[in-house]
């Protein structure tokens, strides 16, 4: 008597969508990491360069600011001088792109070595609800390093102006309609590049 052929319709299958989403997340993290490493190399080599290297793009200086970190300490632009940092605009009650953006930041935090001296700054566009305590709980959910990844809140008008006038992102009339861009800021506080959080192509 012949053995029955296995029913292939009942074979377990891997969840394709989560796998593709994870691959996309890692790809964006890899591209951002590569860009930052290349940028750091450019900064080091251009200091002794005779002028043969083409200058990098400069999207303008980040305006001065003083905001409150999740630790309740005051943080100003001056505190970030001398460091390369990646900025984004999120809010903790966001049901849209914010969780994905924060996961990508968390992946970059793991990928970039401490020696690279790269820091991360997340500005909330909903400061009326995102208190330091609320930001602490959100940051802890992403294992955010307190020394490398800052979460900043402050007056709504200040953050709206910083987002739109400084980073050219989002809408001043409705800050919660925030940008999904990551901005790379150099050691002097100038924006050098933008990357879309869901698109690895350079903006």
pLDDT digits (tens, 9 = 90+) for 106-132: 999 988 877 678 999 999 999 999 999
pLDDT tens digit string along 146-188? 999 999 999 999 999 999 889 987 766 666 667 788 999 999 9
Whether the full predicted model's pTM is greater than 0.85, yes or no, is no
CA distance 81 to 103: 25
- Helix H or strand E encompassing 119: strand 118-124
Give CA torsion, residues 93, 66, 109, 36, to 10 deg: 120
Please report which confidence band the pLDDT of residue 4 belongs to, taking 50, 70 and 90 as the band edges.
very low
What is the spatial distance between Cα 165 and Cα 117, in angstroms, rounded to a whole number? 27
Q: What percent of the chain has pLDDT over 70?
A: 65
> What pLDDT is recorded for position 171?
66
Contacts of 51 (CB under 8 A, 6+ apart): none
């Amino acid at each position: 008597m012949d053995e029955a052929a296995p029913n292939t319709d009942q074979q377990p299958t891997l969840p394709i969508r989560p796998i593709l989403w994870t691959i996309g997340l890692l790809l964006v993290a890899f591209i951002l990491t590569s860009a930052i490493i290349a940028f750091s190399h450019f900064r080091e080599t251009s200091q002794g360069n005779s002028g043969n290297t083409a200058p990098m793009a400069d999207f303008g200086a980040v305006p001065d600011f003083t905001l409150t970190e999740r630790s309740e300490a005051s943080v100003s632009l001056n505190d970030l001088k001398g460091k390369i940092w990646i900025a984004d605009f999120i809010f903790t009650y966001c049901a849209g792109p914010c969780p994905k953006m924060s996961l990508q930041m968390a992946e970059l935090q793991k990928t970039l070595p401490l020696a690279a001296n790269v820091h991360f700054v997340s500005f909330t566009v909903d400061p009326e609800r995102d208190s330091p305590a609320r930001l602490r709980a959100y940051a802890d959910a992403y294992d955010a390093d307190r020394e490398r990844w800052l979460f900043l809140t402050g007056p709504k008008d200040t953050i709206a102006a910083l987002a739109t006038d400084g980073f050219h992102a989002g809408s001043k009339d409705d800050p919660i309609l925030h940008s999904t861009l990551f901005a790379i800021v150099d050691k002097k506080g100038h924006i050098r590049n933008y990357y879309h959080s869901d698109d690895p192509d350079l903006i």
